[in-house]
Structure 1
Amino acid sequence: MLFCLTASHRNTEFDVLERLSLAAGSTGADVIAAHDFVRGAVVVATCNRFEAYLELDEPVSAGAVLAHEAVLDVLQATAGADADALRRSAVVLQGDEVVRHLFSVSSGLESMVVGEEEITGQVQRALRTARDAGTTTPLLEQAFQRAAHATREVRAKADLAGEGRSLARLALDLVGSRITDWSGVTVLLVGTGSYAATTIAALQARDAADVRVYSSTGRAQRFAAKYGVRAESDLRTGIRDADIVITCTARYTVGPDDVPADRARIVVDLGLPRNVDPAVAEVEGVTLIDLELLGKHATVPELSGGAHEVVGSAAAMFAAERDAAPAVVAVRSHIQAALEAELERLRGDDTERTESALRHLAGVLSHAPSVRAREAAAEGRLDEFERALEIVFGIEVDLSSEHGNLRAVS
Structure 2
Amino acid sequence: MSVFALGLNHTTAPLDLRGRFAFTPAQLVPALQAFRERLQRAMPEAALLSTCNRTELYVAAEPAQVRELVQPSIDWLAEQGRLSGGQLLAHTYVREEREAARHAFRVAAGLDSMVLGEAQILGQMKQAVREADTAGTLGTTLHQLFQRSFSVAKEVRSSTEVGAHSISMAAAAVRLAGQLFEDLRELKVLFVGAGEMIELVATHFAAREPKAMAVANRTLERGEKLATRFGAQALRLADLTARLHEFDAIVSCTASSLPIIGLGAVERALKARKHRPMFMVDLAVPRDIEPEVGELSDVYLYTVDDLSALVQSAGEKRQAAVAQAEAIIETGVQGFAHWLDQRATVPLIRSLNTQAEAWRAAELARARRLLARGEDVEVVLDALARGLTQKMLHGALAELHGADPAQRRQTAQTVSRLFLRGSAQAALPPVDDTSPADPIGPFDGSER
**Matching residue of 2:285:** 272
Query: Secondary structure in 1 aligned to 2:64?
Result: coil
Question: Which region of structure 1 is more displaced relative to structure 2, 191-200 or 75-84?
Answer: 75-84
Q: What is the CA–CA distance in structure 1 between the aligned matches of 2:208 and 2:325, rounded to whole Å?
A: 28
Question: Which letter does structure 1 place at the counterpart of 2:135?
Answer: A
1:239 and 2:244 correspond: yes
1:32 and 2:33 correspond: no
**Matching residue of 2:412:** none
1:290 and 2:303 correspond: yes
Task: Show structure 1 runs of 5+ residues with no match.
Answer: 342-386, 393-410
TM-score by length of 2: 0.67
Is the contact made by 2:168 and 2:311 (CA closer than 8 Å) also made in structure 1? no
Task: Show structure 2 runs of 5+ residues with no match.
Answer: 361-415, 422-448
Query: Secondary structure in 2 aligned to 1:273?
Result: coil
Q: Cα deviations across residues 104-125 of structure 1 (Å, max 9, x unaligned)?
A: 1111111111111211111222
Identical columns (%): 27
Q: 1:142 aligns with which of 122, 129, 144?
A: 144
**Matching residue of 2:228:** 225
Deviation, structure 1 residue 250: 0.4
Q: What is the CA–CA distance in structure 2 between the aligned matches of 1:96 and 1:390, rounded to whole Å?
A: 34
Query: Secondary structure in 2 aligned to 1:81?
Result: coil
Q: 1:197 aligns with which of 193, 196, 199?
A: 199
Question: Which region of structure 1 is more displaced relative to structure 2, 12-21 or 318-327?
Answer: 318-327
RMSD of equivalent CA atoms: 3.4
Q: What is the CA–CA distance in structure 2 between the aligned matches of 1:209 and 1:111, rounded to whole Å?
A: 33
Q: What is the CA–CA distance in structure 2 between the aligned matches of 1:300 and 1:308, rounded to whole Å?
A: 17
Is the contact made by 2:251 and 2:280 (CA closer than 8 Å) also made in structure 1? yes
Q: What is the CA–CA distance in structure 2 between the aligned matches of 1:390 and 1:58, rounded to whole Å?
A: 31
1:176 and 2:174 correspond: no
**Matching residue of 2:334:** 316
1:254 and 2:256 correspond: no
Deviation, structure 1 residue 271: 0.7
**Matching residue of 1:124:** 126
Larger Rg over CA atoms: 2
Q: What is the CA–CA distance in structure 2 between the aligned matches of 1:178 and 1:212, rounded to whole Å?
A: 20
**Matching residue of 2:110:** 108
Is the contact made by 1:214 and 1:238 (CA closer than 8 Å) also made in structure 2? no
Deviation, structure 1 residue 228: 4.0
Is the contact made by 1:213 and 1:232 (CA closer than 8 Å) also made in structure 2? yes
Deviation, structure 1 residue 38: 4.7
Question: Which letter does structure 2 place at the counterpart of 1:309?
Answer: A
Q: Cα deviations across residues 124-151 of structure 1 (Å, max 9, x unaligned)?
A: 2222222222222121122122222221
Deviation, structure 1 residue 2: 0.4
Q: Cα deviations across residues 166-205 of structure 1 (Å, max 9, x unaligned)?
A: 2222233223211211111111111121112221232234
Q: What is the CA–CA distance in structure 2 between the aligned matches of 1:44 and 1:198, rounded to whole Å?
A: 21
Q: What is the CA–CA distance in structure 2 between the aligned matches of 1:190 and 1:207, rounded to whole Å?
A: 19
**Matching residue of 1:13:** 14
**Matching residue of 2:60:** 55
Deviation, structure 1 residue 268: 0.5
TM-score by length of 1: 0.73
Q: What is the CA–CA distance in structure 2 between the aligned matches of 1:276 and 1:94, rounded to whole Å?
A: 37
Query: Secondary structure in 2 aligned to 1:93?
Result: strand
Relative distance call for 1:284 and 1:156 in structure 2 (3 A) is same
Count of residue pairs brought into register by the alignment:
342
Is the contact made by 1:27 and 1:71 (CA closer than 8 Å) also made in structure 2? no
**Matching residue of 1:166:** 168
1:185 and 2:187 correspond: yes
Q: What is the CA–CA distance in structure 1 between the aligned matches of 2:117 and 2:188, rounded to whole Å?
A: 29
Is the contact made by 1:38 and 1:57 (CA closer than 8 Å) also made in structure 2? no
Query: Secondary structure in 1 aligned to 2:44?
Result: strand
Question: Which letter does structure 2 place at the counterpart of 1:193?
Answer: G
